[in-house]
Amino acid sequence: MRCPYYTGAEYHLQITPGAGFPAPAIINVKVRVLEVFEPITISPVLKVALATEPLSTDLPPVLVLKVYDRRYAKDLRAFYDIPDPSAETEEAFRTWASSGPGSQRTLDEWERKRRADDELDIEPSTEETEAYLAALLASYHENEVHIYERMVSMQGNEIPRFFGRTRFIIETDKAQSDEITDAEVPGILVEYVEGTRLDNLSIDALSPALCQKCVDIVLAFGDRGVLNRDVRLENFIVPSSPEVSTSGSEIRRDVVMIDFAQARLRGEDEDDERWKGEKWSTDEEGAIGYVLQKKCGWDYKPTFRYLVPAED
């Protein structure tokens, strides 16, 4: 079964706008894939161009479309030892999903079931694992949307602009193709930032000011009640050149953080002690600060903001 995410592919999308993007309740657009960012690890990430005619939206002409498709979550499939999808396995999964309540379980319910099965040495079926991955990817999608909505004041500067949730509109004449997208696959549409990933930047380009800015962004997330378990060099982009605003002035961005699928908001019932414990054990600040220190010799000074005092 051919992966539907490839250069030159065209999709019709329905966009539900996010906070910070003034638009009608629903927007329908057509996009064309300019590039697939490789390797695909968990979510296919695509550089797309608007192909809607006439262009009646305030969307920029080039964007990033990120989709949460269990079929092509390559690292997760390898971890759970699930083979690549085929027309036959997809048909079997859909038949299974439509014949019972199993596919309707939440992620928490799936995780409880998997723990119980593990204790009893019960091997989950391929269909159950596919359903679990679908629930897991759906949670990643919700995480990312919630983070962008919470961090709206940083959009367009320290993080990309978030334009909204997406779903694929399936064309009738492609309904029988094994290369089509899936209307049930959720996605997001965000700003495309041209630049170099922090892990690919030369040591000479890693100035103390740039390193500190990366740490400051991470700390700002914590100040707004966000815990991110995926802070790493690969998730920071240094823009290649200043951008031009609609008023014609230059917008200079030192560094932009991306990928919040494995981040979460602080729970409403999460007290200070528990929250600080989670933040301290995750150590997002150190995940970027210590790595930059090792990479370029930057004199990183941790804040110990979430230090949990030792018990007497």
* Interval 9-67: pLDDT, tens: 999 999 999 887 877 788 899 999 999 999 999 999 999 999 976 555 688 999 999 99
The model's pTM: 0.91
For 272, residues 6+ apart whose C-beta sits below 8 A from its C-beta are none
Across residues 259-286, what is the average pLDDT? Answer: 96
Domains of the chain: 1-192 (no CATH), 195-296 (1.10.510)
Q: Return the biggest CA–CA distance within the chain.
A: 70
Q: 67-87 burial, b if ≥16 CB within 10 A, otherwise e? A: bbbbbbbeebbeeeebeebee
Averaged confidence pLDDT in the chain: 90
Assign 282 a pLDDT band (cuts: 50, 70, 90): very high
Residue 20: other Cβ atoms inside 10 A? 16
Between residues 236 and 251, which one has the greater pLDDT?
A: 236
Residue 172 confidence (pLDDT): 64
Task: Using DSSP, state whether 125 is helix, strand or coil.
Answer: coil
How large a percentage of the chain has pLDDT more than 70? 90
The dihedral over CA atoms of 242, 246, 249, 253, expressed in degrees to the nearest 10, equals -30
